[in-house]
Amino acid sequence: MDAAVIHECLKARFEARVVDCDLKAKDPFIVIEPTAIVDVCRFLRDEPDLRFDSLSNQSGVDYKAKGIIQIVYHLYSYPHRHKIVLKVDAPRDDPKVPTVEGVWKAANWLEREIYDLLGVTFEGHSDLRRLLMPEDWIGHPLRKDFVEPEEYHGINTRRESPLR
Amino acid sequence: MGLEGFEVEVQQVGKPGLETEEMTLNMGPQHPSTHGVLRFVIKADGEVMREAIPDVGYLHRSIEKISEKVGYHGFMPYTDRVDYVAAMFCNQGWGMVCEKLGGIEVPKRGEYCRVIAAELNRISSHLIAVGCMILDIGAMTPFFHAFREREKINDLLEELCGARLTYNYMRIGGVAWDLPPNYAEKVLAFLDQFEPLLDEYNDLITYNKIYVERLANVAVVPAEVAINYNLVGPNLRGSGVQYDVRRDEPYSVYPELEFDIPVGKGEVGTVGDCFDRYIVRMREMKESARILRQCMKQIPDGPVIAKVPRKFKPPAGDAYVRVESARGDMGWYVVSDGSEFPYRTKIRTGSFSAMSIIDWMSRGLMIADLVAVISSLDVIAPEVDR
């Protein structure tokens, strides 16, 4: 099934909660309202014609100029061999998105990574702890306004560039 | 004869009967079978694990953040460090995602060079995977047999690109250098000698009774669970799902090549057990050898790299590509804002999803089986942490 048909399916079922779409992009994507993401994902997974049984990738992007953090879901269906991209925009100052851990288990760690590196809170997540950074790290390194701390536990993080 | 003065005093517990309590054990960060720096917190009841929670991040080098600072061309050597056992695939993933963003077409010979390098790397990576797995289970000799062959592939790749581990061979738009003179003969000579050795490995270890008993029916992952946790590559195929990105989402010149996709069939136990994940890798090496032979026959003449500007500025937008790495479907998501630096790079690797399922798999297993589970999933710690 191609992206246009999937978009029509979602539009018919979720109406205004499907905010926007770009079906001519390199990877066609559909923008969903944050509150609807779990329902949409469950629908995409369970509908016999869609059957998106795998969450291939989930990433967060900090669009500082637009004031949003975007969560991008790359879905793939093994039975039908088709794919779609979902996007959800969360406000940058207090990003909260419902977790899709209940739909695909793979989201557990992917969401932990996004929480760790971008500071997005996934509501309802069973184990929202830092994954890659140390537990006592302050800030979220992949935010565009992140400033590296001058030292960490007495270890200086500043180095002269050898090229200068 | 008793040992006087060494009598053991039986400790009396307050309450009658034996008391049991859950034991918390630590495994790693330095442990020979964790294949990198990686730690597990194990809650065990006697020898049976209640859970084994992975604690990762020891090898986090912020590779994704580095990409935002060094530009598209400059990031290529860093991709080697994502998975240093199979660095060619990371090179290829980065090249492919940039080509998709910029709309660049790679010359045919360049694509063939990529496939040759990648398939050689797949064999060497699988040799490490099965060699280390056998070593972890307790057999020493097959490990050296595997590494002996891997050295020969390292020599071949060194001749190709000058490096034995972190290759930095590919470029956006193609590869850095054409094949060296007489390369086809050298590769074919290696394959002629290597393919019969696979049968030797099978005689030596694969159907060894002790080895089979350690792996059969251990840590079974049914296909639905594997897909739900997004297991990929040999781990997914071990669960009986016949899926390979090279065939099902074809890229590069793979549509022109003929190869089979081995899947786990539960030959000695249940579909999706540790043995199935092992045997899939053994058979994939044979398929890679088959692909290499075809490549050597079919490779056309021509340039190996397309013209790409030094200041590579792809139009604003995002792209996602999937590469079948040695550890399975590797996803590269890149957002471009039109400048010469990537706005955001996200790398979703096979080891990452494999690591996230260990907690689920370990429940109810013996502690000694955890080693078999980790090595059967072929987890490479730097790929998890990036």
Integer Cα distance of B279 and B140 in angstroms? 18
Q: What is the pLDDT of residue B155?
A: 92
Q: Where are the beta strands (DSSP E) in A23-111?
A: 29-32, 54-63, 68-76, 83-91, 96-98
Least confident of A9-23, B59-73, B132-146, B182-196: A9-23
Q: At residue B289, what is the residue type?
A: A
Residue B333 has pLDDT above 90, yes or no: yes
Residues of A in contact with B65 (CB under 8 A): 141-142
Residue A104 lies in a domain: yes
Scanning every residue of chain A, which has its alpha carbon at the shortest distance from the alpha carbon of B59?
Answer: A132
Encode pLDDT of B231-265 as tens digits: 998 999 989 888 988 888 888 889 888 889 998 88
Residue A39 lies in a domain: yes
Least confident of B45-54, B111-120, B187-196, B335-344: B45-54
B241 in A contact zone (CB under 8 Å): yes
Integer Cα distance of A136 and A116 in angstroms? 11
Scanning every residue of chain A, which has its alpha carbon at the shortest distance from the alpha carbon of B245?
Answer: A81
Q: What is the pLDDT of residue B347?
A: 92
CB B178 within 8 A of CB B304: yes
B50 in A contact zone (CB under 8 Å): no
B39 in A contact zone (CB under 8 Å): no
**B175: CB partners within 8 A, 6+ apart:** B110, B113, B114, B117, B169, B304, B305
Least confident of A130-144, B13-27, B218-232: B13-27
Q: What is the pLDDT of residue B4?
A: 66
**B304: CB partners within 8 A, 6+ apart:** B107, B109, B110, B113, B174, B175, B177, B178
Q: What is the pLDDT of residue A164?
A: 64
- 3-state DSSP assignment of residue A29: strand
Q: What is the pLDDT of residue B291?
A: 92
Sign of CA dihedral B241, B242, B244, B250: negative
Q: What angle do CA B380, A87, B352 make, to 5 degrees?
A: 10
Least confident of B104-108, B223-227, B284-288, B367-371: B367-371
Encode pLDDT of B198-214 as tens digits: 888 888 888 888 888 88
Q: Which domains are present in chain B?
A: 63-342 (1.10.645.10)
Q: pLDDT above 90 covers what percent of chain B?
A: 23
Q: At residue B92, what is the residue type?
A: Q
For residue A28 the two structure tokens come to 């066609």
Q: Do B385 and A132 touch (CB under 8 A)?
A: yes
Residue A18 lies in a domain: yes
- Give the residue from B1, B230, B161 showing the smallest Cα distance to A57: B230
Residue B13 has pLDDT above 60, yes or no: no
For residue B135, give how far its alpha carbon lies from the nearest alpha carbon of chain A (Å): 29
Banded model confidence at residue A138, pLDDT cuts 50, 70, 90: confident
Residue A22 has pLDDT above 80, yes or no: yes
Q: What is the pLDDT of residue B7?
A: 59
Q: What is the pLDDT of residue B204?
A: 80
Q: What is the pLDDT of residue B377?
A: 87
Encode pLDDT of B161-211 as tens digits: 888 888 989 999 889 888 998 898 999 999 999 988 888 888 888 888 888
Q: Do B348 and A26 touch (CB under 8 A)?
A: no
Residue B10 has pLDDT above 60, yes or no: no
Q: Do B346 and A74 touch (CB under 8 A)?
A: no
B346 in A contact zone (CB under 8 Å): yes
Q: What is the pLDDT of residue B46?
A: 80
Q: What is the mean pLDDT of residues A112-116?
A: 91
From the list B101, B320, B357, the residue facing A57 with the nearest CB is B320
Q: What is the pLDDT of residue B383?
A: 87
CB A116 within 8 A of CB A131: yes
Paired strand residues for A83: A76
For residue A27, give how far its alpha carbon lies from the nearest alpha carbon of chain B (Å): 6
In eight-state DSSP terms, residue B10 is P
For residue B39, give how far its alpha carbon lies from the nearest alpha carbon of chain A (Å): 12
Residue A161 lies in a domain: no
Residues of A in contact with B249 (CB under 8 A): 81
Q: What is the mean pLDDT of residues A56-74?
A: 91
Q: Which of A63, A78, A101 to mutate to test the interface with B (most CBs of B within 10 A)?
A: A78
Helices B87-102 + B108-137 axis angle, to 10: 150
Which of A21-26's residues contact partners 24+ apart within 8 Å by CB, and which partners? Answer: A25/B317, A25/B318, A26/B100, A26/B101, A26/B317, A26/B318, A26/B319
**A6: CB partners within 8 A, 6+ apart:** A30, A44, A50, A82, A84
Q: What is the mean pLDDT of residues A59-80?
A: 90
Cα end-to-end span (Å), chain B: 61
Residue A163 lies in a domain: no
**Per-residue CA distances from A156 to A133, A150, A159, B300, B349 (Å):** 17, 6, 8, 53, 31
Q: Please count the structural domains in chain A.
A: 1
Residue A121 lies in a domain: yes
- Give the residue from A121, A28, A124, A25 showing the smallest Cα distance to A75: A28
- Give the residue from B126, B91, B37 showing the smallest Cα distance to B252: B91
Q: What is the pLDDT of residue B62?
A: 87
Q: What is the pLDDT of residue B9?
A: 56
Residue B133 has pLDDT above 60, yes or no: yes
In chain B, residues 132-161 whose CB comes closer than 8 Å to chain A:
none
Residue A50 lies in a domain: yes
Residues of A in contact with B70 (CB under 8 A): none
Sign of CA dihedral B155, B161, B167, B170: negative
Integer Cα distance of A48 and B280 in angstroms? 30
Residues of A in contact with B357 (CB under 8 A): 105
Least confident of A18-32, A114-128, B78-92, B335-349: A18-32
Q: What is the pLDDT of residue B95?
A: 92
Q: What is the pLDDT of residue B28?
A: 74
Residue B283 has pLDDT above 80, yes or no: yes
Integer Cα distance of B50 and A77 in angstroms? 33
- What are the two backbone dihedrals, phi and then psi, of residue B50, each rounded to the nearest 5 degrees? -80, -45
Q: What is the pLDDT of residue B119?
A: 92
Least confident of A19-23, A27-31, B175-179: A19-23
Residues of A in contact with B101 (CB under 8 A): 26
Which uninterrupted H or E stretch holds B332? strand B328-336
Residues of A in contact with B360 (CB under 8 A): 105
- 3-state DSSP assignment of residue B162: coil
From the list A59, A78, A117, the residue facing B227 with the nearest CB is A78
Integer Cα distance of A148 and A159 in angstroms? 12
Rounded to the nearest integer, the mean pLDDT of chain B is: 86
Give residue A61's domain range.
3-156
Q: Do B333 and A110 touch (CB under 8 A)?
A: no
Region of A96 please: left (phi>0), alpha (psi -120 to 50) or beta. Answer: beta
Banded model confidence at residue A115, pLDDT cuts 50, 70, 90: very high
Q: What is the pLDDT of residue A9?
A: 80
CATH number of the domain at A35, please: 3.30.460.80
